[in-house]
Amino acid sequence: MWVDSAADLICQSVAERISKSGVCTLALAGGKTPQALYKRLSQPPYLQAICWPATHIFLGDERCVPFEHEESNFGMANRHLISQVPIPPQNCHPIPIYAGPSAQIALQYEEEMKRHFQHLPAQSESLTKDAKGHFFPVFDLIILGMGKDGHTASLFPGDPALKEKMRWAAFVQKSPRPPRLPRATLTLPVLNRARLVIFFASESEKKDIIRKVLDETERLTSVFPAALVRPAGKLIWMILKEG
């Protein structure tokens, strides 16, 4: 089953990072596809293999609803993983949806990320600067999904949030895809500075868009946000063949 090889990959990446810098900072995807993986990571052998006290969990994006709401990404991640493993509560960094729904959510999430990344040991090289002197966080691992329209996190085709060049998080007034809720999302500059990005997409559901997004000839000018994710580190696509 794909979840075991995916869980192996994540477990290995987290362990490598912790052995190098003593801490691993990852961002989880929302949606349905990663749920089985989160459940698997909460079970042996991964439950014991991952050093949860040295692991920090952020979200790649969120729907602006209370965590108890069925559409909450943090709620989902908490149900399947976070509440099932010995991770200290202070290592969990949900998107502060209670600050909005407004751009305040994105600003407060950026502050939360700054509080974390600015206090990581220097050797973890967790902050990087662009040519204009803007600082950006370096996530060790970002897990992403993709919609049939080529969106990823809550970066939708043609949305102004996709053009963000400076902020670490952005607010999306209303998602054009279900659930049609206000969203908050990591921005492209942050996704593209990660050490490792892993996309999970089901082949049966998303065959066409996967082909378009992975088409090298038009990737740089693509309208599909998922195609614009080209991290400084490694990029892995796990195309899931069900059954």
Which residues make up the interface to ligand 6PG (CB under 6 A)?
29-33, 60-61, 63, 73, 145-147, 151-154
Nearer to ligand 6PG by Cβ, of 23 and 150: the residue is: 150
- Min dist CB 232 to ligand 6PG, Å, is 21
- Min dist CB 28 to ligand 6PG, Å, is 9
Nearer to ligand 6PG by Cβ, of 44 and 178: the residue is: 178
Q: What residues pair up with 183 in beta bridges, in sequence order? A: 63, 172
- Min dist CB 125 to ligand 6PG, Å, is 27
Nearer to ligand 6PG by Cβ, of 54 and 65: the residue is: 65
- Min dist CB 145 to ligand 6PG, Å, is 2
Nearer to ligand 6PG by Cβ, of 20 and 212: the residue is: 212
